[in-house]
Every structure is written in C-alpha cells, then in structure tokens.
Amino acid sequence: MKKRKDFSNLEMHDLFKKAFTKLNDLFKEGDYFKAFILAFSILEDRVTATCKTYFALMDLNEKIVEIPFSLRKKAKLLLLTGLLDKKDYDSLCRIADNRNTFYHAYFLGDFAIDKKDVKEIIRLIRVADKKQNVQKTKLRRVSNK
C-alpha cells in the first residue's frame, strides 16, 4: 500500500474524484452514516490543503513549523485569515465538536445521522475547495512574476 507522500498530484486528484463518487453512491443508497464518515474525512483534508496553500502563498512555510492538528484550530486559522466567514466557521466547529458524539450515538442506536448532516459537510467541502482554488490562483500569479 502506498503512503500519501508517494502519490503524484494526478493520483491524489483521482483519489478524491473516487472518494466523491463513493460519497454520492452512499448518499443515493441512504447510508448516511458511512457518507458522514467519508465526507468528514474529505472535509478535514480540504481544510488542511487550504491552510497549506495559504501558508505557501504567504511564504509562511519556513516560519510556521506545522499546520495545527485539530480541525477546529485549522478552521480558526482560516477564520483569522479571512478565508472562512463566521457562519462557515461556526458550522465547521459544530460538526468537528460533535463528530465523536455522532459516532457514539449512532453505534448505541440513540439516533441516526440524516441527510441534512451530510449535506452540510458537503457544503463546507465546497467552501474549502473554492477558497483553496482562489489561493492556488494567487500563488500561481505570484510565482509567475
């Protein structure tokens, strides 16, 4: 099995394309618990990628040792840099804070994860992707000068 560092950019793109295809399949099947887990994983990765792109753009790679580990701290960083608005920040934090509670409650049979929960994560993935793409465009412009 390959490690993440061994994947090319094209392979990573294909991996996420497959993940979104699987997410759509799970969504259509009504398996919202699996969809929630996969969507949350994609969201964590997209937020991390947005932070990395921002660090590269601001030339912070050498000044900051590493990106914060928790999703909540990454979200705070994006809020402080203006890449996330307060509404998206609050939504992302709510999902991050409640993730384990969702899992526990699901396995204990206390409640089901529904379509609305998964749709909110997908919306946040799109927000993070949009912000990262804007940052990538700026980074390309800076590096082309």
Q: What are the structure tokens assigned to 38, written together? A: 């996969």
Phi (first) and psi of residue 42, to 5 degrees: -65, -40
Q: What are the structure tokens assigned to 18, written together? A: 């497959």
| Contact (CB, 8 A) for 53 and 139 | yes
Average pLDDT over residues 62-88: 80
Q: How confident is the model at residue 88 (pLDDT cuts 50, 70, 90)?
A: very high
128: pLDDT strictly greater than 80: yes
63: pLDDT strictly greater than 70: no
Which position has the token pair 């949350």?
Answer: 40
| Contact (CB, 8 A) for 95 and 119 | no
| Contact (CB, 8 A) for 75 and 85 | no
> Taking the CA atoms of the chain, what radius of gyration do you get in angstroms?
16
In whole angstroms, what is the distance from residue 20 CA to residue 129 CA? 13
Amino acid at 45: D
